[in-house]
Amino acid sequence: MFIIFLLYDIINMGDKMYEYIKGLVVDQESTYIVLENNNMGYKIHVPNPYSFGLEEYKIYVYQHLREDESTLYGFKTKEELNLFLNLIEVSGIGPKTALPMLATGSVSGIMDAINRENTLYLTKFPKIGEKVAKQIILDLKGKFKLQIENDYVDSNMELVEVLRGLGYKLNDINKVLPKVSKDIELGEQVKEALKLLLK
């Protein structure tokens, strides 16, 4: 299958030479996958290689360039990539430290821990001691509020659309979504949300 290889304009993009690569996963190893695109195999380090099937994916990538190193890091979502990019800007954290965080923790969980100054959660990750955890919080706290709200919207899109159809604004819907149970049918979710919105 011929797959178009998309290469973004590299002017003023620094290390971020590629935005994403779309191709077929043809191999999985303990720390990376091989993504075939246009008869080329890209070695891409990812958080959980065995979570990928041998099928086509759109992988958001970051190219880590140093004098003696050129490494591709890949993620299934833009949210994962953006969190990774923020983490590697923190003093004491490089790609090889940030990647295991995304392998064992969720995006929303890590962002919530940062915003709540939960050093205990952060120090459970490999190579993250208390000093580094505090530096992460110092550098990144407050940056993820909007993203956490968007995560709730994405995971409750049907409910959001119903409530918007009833005339409610997205900002107001965002405030009640975390309080609505996810384990009930859509109709019951709407009732719960309306009660909260009418308070």
pLDDT at 21: 95
**The CATH homologous superfamily of the domain defined by 78-143:** 5' to 3' exonuclease, C-terminal subdomain (1.10.150.20)
* Contact predicate 10/17, CB 8 Å: yes
Beta-strand runs (E) in the chain: 20-28, 32-37, 40-45, 56-66, 69-75
The model's pLDDT over 128-137, given as tens digits with 9 standing for 90+, comes to 999 999 999 9
- C-beta atoms surrounding 174 within 10 Å: 16
pLDDT of residue 170: 72
d(CA 62, CA 89): 13
Tokens of 80: 């994962």
Distance between first and last Cα of the chain: 55
Q: Which CATH number fits domain 20-75: 3.40.50.300, 3.20.20.100, 2.40.50.140, 3.40.190.10?
A: 2.40.50.140
Residue 145's nearest CA partner among 100, 103, 178, 192 is 178
Question: Would you state the pLDDT for residue 79?
Answer: 87
The residue ranges of every structural domain in the chain are: 20-75, 78-143, 156-197
Q: What pLDDT does 54 receive?
A: 94
Domains 20-75 and 78-143 share a fold: no
- Is the full-model pTM beyond 0.85? no
Instruction: Show the low-confidence residues of the chain (pLDDT under 50).
Output: 1-15
